[in-house]
Amino acid sequence: MSLKGQYQNGYVTRDLDRAMELAGGSFGLGAFTAFDVEMVANTPTGEKTSHLRVATAWAGAIQVELIQPIGGFVDPYLPFLPTDPADAVPRLHHIAVRRDDPVAMRAEAQAMGLPLAFTSEGAGISCIFLDARRRLGHYFEFVTANPQGWELLGWPEGLVLS
């Protein structure tokens, strides 16, 4: 496993709009882009659909992703949410690393020996979500994409991770 290529910190929240206000400009983030997602997750027990509200913003080479689970397959998100439904403070859920070779990414993910939470593919983007809670306290996401997928993710033009 390598943290090389880390570009994203993902957080979960009970209220996306309030979380965007809380995380906003005081941390050097650009404007958030918010959208609704219906994601097909390929889990070890079969295909499941997640309904999420998501917002992303960039601060240099780091993307902050805020996720509000709405319905469907939300099991990986629930343990990180506060018990108080009025608490909108974002909680760290995962980090993501960029990989440009899908075959090498799958081999690296498998070699980590961590439980698979799910994989997902669509719009030129592929991800592998591993359950790293026993080693890091949160999930670990591998992401690869074609050029259109990286553009959809808002990848800053000219950004190259070392």
Give the model confidence (pLDDT) of 123-158 as tens digits: 999 999 999 999 999 999 999 999 999 998 889 888
Overall fold of domain 6-152: 2,3-Dihydroxybiphenyl 1,2-Dioxygenase; domain 1 (3.10.180)
Which class for 133: exposed (0-12), middle (13-18), buried (19 or more C-beta within 10 A)? middle
Which pLDDT tens digit goes with each residue over 84-129?
Answer: 999 999 999 999 999 999 999 999 999 999 999 999 999 999 999 9
Q: Would you say the pTM of this structure is higher than 0.75?
A: yes
Of the candidates 123, 116, 127, 131, which has an alpha carbon nearest to the alpha carbon of residue 152? 123
Res 159 pLDDT > 90: no
